[in-house]
């Protein structure tokens, strides 16, 4: 699904004459720390995520593991996050860009 969002969707829209992609982007806070692990470059990193509102209408996001099973990887996904390219670890409650598949 990430390959579709990053590569295929822009190509289809460009062929159709719609070069600009409008995604719902909102600022959200991480609800858990995220370690990048081994990375060989400093490119942006996309990851599936589940976003939810707390009782005070703050948007929190939990990046999900991208496991081997497609159905398990997509369970609870309602968007993706764009991880900053030069960070080694992201802390709890750090602001991050969340791109929603649905209207939030």
Mean pLDDT of the chain: 78
CA-to-CA separations, 21 to 48, 88, 93, 94, in angstroms, rounded? 18, 29, 28, 26
| Whole-number Å distance between alpha carbons of 102 and 38 | 31
pLDDT band at 28 (very low <50, low <70, confident <90, very high): very high
Using an 8 Å Cβ cutoff, are 65 and 49 in contact? no
Percent of the chain with pLDDT over 90: 9
Considering the domain 23-100, what is its CATH architecture? Beta Barrel (2.40)
This prediction's pTM: 0.70
Q: What's the mean pLDDT in 14-24? A: 78
pLDDT at 42: 65
pLDDT at 79: 85
Q: What's the mean pLDDT in 10-23? A: 80
Q: What's the mean pLDDT in 84-96? A: 78
Decide the pairing of beta strands 89-90 and 59-63.
Answer: unpaired
Whether pLDDT at 4 is above 80: no
Q: Over the stretch 42-64, which tens digit does the pLDDT of each residue have?
A: 667 788 888 999 988 889 998 87
| Whole-number Å distance between alpha carbons of 101 and 81 | 11
Whether pLDDT at 88 is above 80: no
């Amino acid at each position: 699904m990430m390959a579709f969002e990053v590569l295929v969707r822009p190509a289809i829209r460009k062929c159709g004459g719609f070069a600009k992609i409008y995604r719902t982007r909102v600022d959200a806070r991480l609800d858990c720390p995220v370690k990048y692990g081994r990375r060989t470059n400093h490119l942006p990193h996309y990851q599936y995520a589940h976003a939810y509102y707390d009782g005070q209408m703050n948007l929190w996001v939990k990046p999900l593991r991208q496991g081997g099973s497609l159905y398990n990887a997509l369970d609870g996904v309602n968007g993706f996050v764009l991880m900053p390219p030069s960070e080694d670890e992201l802390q709890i409650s750090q602001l991050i860009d969340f791109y929603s598949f649905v209207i939030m």
